[in-house]
Amino acid sequence: MSFDRNIKIAPSILAADFANFGAEIVAVQEQGADWIHVDVMDGHFVPNITFGPETCKAIRPHIKGVMDVHLMISPVDQYIDAFAKSGADIITAHYEAGPHIHRTLQAIRNTGAKAGIALNPGTPAESIEYLLDMIDLICVMTVNPGFGGQKFIHGQIDKVRKLRAMVGDRPIHIEIDGGVTPETAPLVTEAGADVLVAGSAVFGGGSVANPAPYGDNIRAIRSAARG
Ligand code: DX5
Ligand code: ZN
């Protein structure tokens, strides 16, 4: 995986047809998606359940580029190998998921995957100060994790700006997750984000049978993000 700060749109399959992930992924990629964002929820760390490593493994062959796996699970450490073996390029764990995030990030990098850290809305930017050399991606949650289709929390924009200053020249992506739309995208890219996760704003209005709206939605977010 090479590094750049170009804007990347990462559709979240949380908003796709769960009975048809393979075709949904193919469709959204044909319509211009850069990365595929995969939300894993355990019904414990967050109040919703999605799927696990077997589903990740099954969808991997359909993903042409980066498979970006967001683990909203606790505990997390004992599942890292399984998600790495499923073919994840990036494995993101939550800062809040356990007492030993430093160890978790080490374990992720040891598998050969890139290590991401996700920050809930209440977690300050400074939390990651002593972790910067261990991370490849910071996922700023702009909603409370657990569900798609929630309203963007504007107070997080200031956190993005702080994180961008902390990152400096390091090859660390800043990803935004939750409530990304053509209206909110420019606010976070201006503050320094380069990866935009979007569920409802990409999959809304389209389907595998009618994928053109996916392309319209992705282009709308991308062109707004470029300001
Ligand atoms: C929320 C997930 C998000 C979610 C975003 O817990 O991590 O990735 O799919 O959905 P939207 O874009 O609809 O806010
Ligand atoms: Zn996510």
Catalytic residue, chosen from 89, 136, 177, 194, is: 177
Q: How do 8-11 and 195-198 pair as beta strands?
A: parallel
Ranges of residues in the chain with a pLDDT under 70 are: none
Q: Is the distance from the beta carbon of residue 179 to the nearest atom of ligand 1 less than 6 Å?
A: yes
Q: How far is the CA of 200 from the centre of ligand 1 (A)?
A: 8
Give yes or no: 158 in active site.
no
Half-sphere exposure of 84 (CA within 13 A, CB side): 19
pLDDT at res. 1: 87
Task: State which ligand 1 atom lies nearest to the alpha carbon of 179.
Answer: 14
List, in order, residues 6 or more apart from 28 with CB less than 8 Å away.
Answer: 11, 16, 36, 202, 203, 211, 214, 218
Ranges of H-type helices in the chain = 21-30, 53-59, 80-85, 101-110, 157-167, 185-191, 200-203, 212-225
Q: Rounded to whole angstroms, how far apart are CA atoms 44 and 73?
A: 7
Which pair of structure tokens corresponds to residue 84?
């790495």
Ligand 1 atom closest to residue 145's alpha carbon, by position in its atom list: 6
Beta carbon of 114 within 6 Å of any ligand 1 atom: no
Q: Is 39 annotated as catalytic?
A: yes
Q: Which of 21, 91, 153, 177 to mutate to test the pocket of ligand 1 (most atoms within 8 A of CB)?
A: 177
The pLDDT value given to residue 208: 98
Residues forming beta bridges with residue 205, ordered by sequence position: none
How many angstroms does the Cα of residue 16 sit away from the middle of ligand 2? 13
- Give the per-residue SS3 of 158-200: HHHHHHHHHHCCCCCEEEEECCCCCCCHHHHHHHCCCEEEECH
> Residue 150 Cα, ligand 2 centroid: separation in angstroms?
12
Pick the atom of ligand 1 nearest to 141's CA. 7
- The per-residue b/e assignment along 47-61, b for 16 or more CB within 10 angstroms, e otherwise, is eeebbbbebbeebbe
Cα 24 to chain center, whole Å? 17
R_g (Cα) of the chain, nearest Å: 16
Single out the catalytic residue among 39, 42, 68, 194: 39
pLDDT digits (tens, 9 = 90+) for 185-203: 999 999 999 999 999 999 9
Residues found in the chain: 227
Distance CA 118, CA 174 (A): 10
The pLDDT score that the predictor gives to residue 108 is 98
Distance 9 CA to ligand 1 centre (A): 13
Whole-structure pTM value: 0.98
Spatial strand order of the sheet with 35-41 comes to 8-11, 195-198, 173-177, 137-141, 114-119, 90-94, 66-72, 35-41
CA of 167 to the centre of ligand 1 (A): 24
| Ligand 1 atom nearest 198 alpha carbon | 12
